[in-house]
Chain A
Amino acid sequence: MKLSLQRKAFAGKPLLGPFDLTLRAGEFVALTGPSGVGKTTLLRILAGLDQDWTGSIDLGPDPNIGFMFQEPRLMPWLTALENLRLVCEDTDAARHMLVDVGLGDAANKYPNQLSGGMQRRVALARSMLGQPKLLLMDEPFASLDRSTAQQCRQILLNCWQQHKTTILFVTHDMEEALQLADRALVLTGEPAKIADDTAIDIDRPRAMDTEPAQQLLSRLVQCSANFSH
């Protein structure tokens, strides 16, 4: 995926660009930066939800994009399984995906019968269904309790390793970025540009209490702190 963003303005005020962003196939990239900087807008541009910008984008032949929004955004009138079947006709694949996210028993429940964490997992399943080539995720596990979030991250990693999806993952949690991604980008400034690009070369599964992990973490935290002033 190659994006060359010239300019994205919001109400006449430049918000993003100019910068280039390239994601290699199968790469897991974390995107961080202060809130309000335009991370969500960048995802929406990539997903084609925001058309009001200048520049060019190359998604490759037959782009198949998955998007996980900040909110679950499930159709309340459809059961968990029906919500998946809405985006993918293959019922077996949908069922398997529900089992993968640990919701095999909740297939016939409506969203309002599910807890917040369960709704997130249905949304996670929906975004991964149909094996998207590019998966865009907007703080998908924020506001989940620690253990549920950890569980969701593991599910995501499994899916990523199985299908070699390219993932762009917005988060404000540096530890999460460090735990998941191959590369961490920091988006900052007015208008915002990609100000830092750090490779995370730690073998998976990753333990956060090792020396190199802690060093990288403090570097990332420091780097985003510098830019937000």
Chain B
Amino acid sequence: MTLATRALAIRSASLLLLLLLWQGVVIIWQPDLLPGPRQVAARFWSEWHSGVLPENLATTLLRVTMSFGLAVIAGLTLGTLMGRFHRVDEWFDAPLTLSLNMPALVVIILSFLWVGLNEAAVVVAVVLNKTPTMAVIFREGVRAIDKGLLEVATVHRLSPWRRFWSVWLPQLYPYFLAATRSGLALVWKIVLVVELLGASSGMGFKLGEFFQFFEIDAILAYALSFVVVIVVLEAMLIRPWEARVMRWRAP
């Protein structure tokens, strides 16, 4: 058995054990507030077929993608300026620390108050929440840029585009990966809270609705389906991307 299949087997077995434990608890104690796996699966199935789950899932995923993309662009810009220019760093460091420590909830509430209860407010809230973390990551990345390699580009008089694309940016790939990893996991959690508080669609909104009506099987069905989507995204997009841009590190 290779290492990869062994790891996969252990992963599957541990998930299966968890599932059995859950079913066991339900059979033995028959708790009112914990539906069994079969009930959750049935609810998932009906929500999926009615089209409600896919629709809200798509809405939320779109919000996650948009706000994540904007946060990366804003964070990269700010982080680059701060990493590159000492003066900018001096002026923005204190506000950055401040915003890093601002509770996400406060930013969300203020976004809704200032922008209104609309789609834009959802994106603004998430971007404001995530940009400072991204900026910190990219600032470190830009500080770690190897000037010696840039000099190679200067001596050989590479075009600005080539210098940026082939010499500067690849040095930031590890930081992009870190930002994506930590960002994706956090962004969707923030999006759910934003939706719960002030949107009329999306996973967070539906979860809030189910909470009002005590529909625990639906809450679990929605939550699990979303987790599965994120895990699949990680496996299908991020890991292959990482393998591609980091293949030079392989011995």
Contact = CB atoms under 8 A, between A and B. Distances in A.
A87 interface: yes
Contacts of B6: none
A75 B167 contact: yes
Interface string A44-88: 000111000000000000000111010101011110000000110
Nearest to A123: B152
A71 B151 contact: no
B134 to A, nearest CB: 22
A67 B155 contact: yes
Contact of A110 (B154, B166, B248): B248
B163 to A, nearest CB: 10
B156 interface: yes
Contacts of A65: 155
B24 to A, nearest CB: 50
A73 B154 contact: no
A48 B157 CA distance: 10
A49 B249 contact: no
B251 A73 contact: no
A112 interface: yes
A67 B151 CA distance: 10
B158 interface: yes
Contacts of B249: 112
A35 interface: no
A105 to B, nearest CB: 18
B54 to A, nearest CB: 39
Contacts of A73: 148-149, 151-152
Contact of B149 (A48, A66, A75, A113): A75
Contacts of A113: 251
Contacts of B148: 69, 71, 73
Contact of A77 (B151, B155, B170): B170
A76 B248 contact: yes
Give the bracket for the number of chain B residues in contact with chain A: 10 to 19
Nearest to B156: A87
B251 A49 contact: no
Interface in B150-172: 151-152, 154-156, 158, 162, 166-167, 170
Contacts of A110: 247-248
A86 B247 CA distance: 18
Q: Which of B152, B154, B162 has the most CB of A within 10 A?
A: B152
Contacts of B162: 86
B228 to A, nearest CB: 33
Nearest to A49: B151
A49 to B, nearest CB: 6
A36 B173 CA distance: 36
A66 B251 CA distance: 30
Q: Which of A67, A77, A87 has the most CB of B within 10 A?
A: A77
A48 B245 contact: no
Contacts of B248: 76-78, 110-112
B148 to A, nearest CB: 5
Interface in B82-122: none
Interface in B132-147: none
A87 B173 CA distance: 21
Interface of A: 47-49, 65-67, 69, 71, 73, 75-78, 86-87, 110-113, 130
Q: Which 9 A-B pairs have the closest CB atoms?
A: A87-B156, A110-B248, A67-B155, A77-B170, A77-B248, A73-B148, A73-B152, A47-B155, A76-B248
